[in-house]
Homo-oligomer: A and B are copies of this chain.
Amino acid sequence: MSQATSQAIFFHAGCPVCVAAEQQFVQALDPTRYRVEVVHLGEAAGRVSEAESFGVQSVPALVIDGQAFHINFGAPLSALK
């Protein structure tokens, strides 16, 4: 099997919904295939535009191979600007 390492980015803002999602979700990804970066947008506001470029509208969100998936609902990105 060839298993390229893909990028996954978990965007969050420290909210309780975000933390629960991170703990359960991020650890469930296959570590042999995904290199996961966790980005706290409340502390890295400069990366909000990057999140938006992937189509992220709210946090927590997981971007896998460039595709955004919104998980539950924590906070809209507009609240982080």
A interface residues (Cβ-Cβ under 8 A, vs B)? 8, 20-21, 24-25, 28-34, 64-65, 67, 69-73
**Identical chains bound together, number:** 2
Q: Please list the 3 inter-chain residue pairs (A to B) with the smallest Cβ-Cβ separation, ordered nearest first.
A: A30-B30, A24-B64, A70-B72
In the complex the two chains form, what is the Cα distance from A25 to B69 in whole Å?
9
> Per a CB cutoff under 8 Å, which of B28, B67, B69 touches A29?
B28
In the complex the two chains form, what is the Cα distance from A37 to B1 in whole Å?
23
A33 closest partner in B (C-beta) = B28
Are A64 and B25 also in contact (CB < 8 A) when A69-B71, A72-B70 are? yes
In the complex the two chains form, what is the Cα distance from A25 to B70 in whole Å?
11
A34 touches B24 (CB 8 A): no
